[in-house]
Amino acid sequence: MDWAALDRRIGIAAPAPEVEPPTPLGGLVWRPALRNRKAIRYLTIRSFGATTRRLDIAAFKAEKQQQTIAVIDAAAAEVAQVVAALFGGFVGW
C-alpha cells in the first residue's frame, strides 16, 4: 500500500521540507498519522526526529512544566488542521 499517496489523497500529506510548518516545540517533524495500538486508535501530528530525540524530549518535558500558552495554541491549531482535513471543518471551533 502506498501510504504517502493515501495521505496526499485525503489531504494530510507532509509538506515538502522547505515549506514544513514551523514546530511549536524543538525539532519535531511534521508527520500526521492515524495510529492503532492494542485496539486504541489515536492521531499523531509530529514525531521526534531520530538525531535530536533526547534534546527534543528534554525540551518537551520543560515545556510541560512552563505551560506556555503560545506553544499550547500552536499545537492545538495543528491538531485542528489535521482533524479538519480528515472530517471537514467544524464551524465555530
Distances (CA, A) of 69 to 27, 51, 73: 19, 27, 6
Residue 93 lies in a domain: no
How many Å apart are CA 55 and CA 71, to the nearest integer?
A: 17
Q: Across all residues in the chain, what is the average pLDDT?
A: 75
Residue 13 lies in a domain: yes
Q: What is the tally of structural domains in the chain?
A: 1
Domain of 54, in residue numbers: 3-87
Residue 64 pLDDT class (50, 70, 90 cuts): confident
User: What is the mean predicted confidence (pLDDT) over 76-90?
Assistant: 82
Distance between first and last Cα of the chain: 34
Q: What is the pLDDT of residues 22-49, one digit of tens each?
A: 666 667 788 888 899 998 998 888 888 8
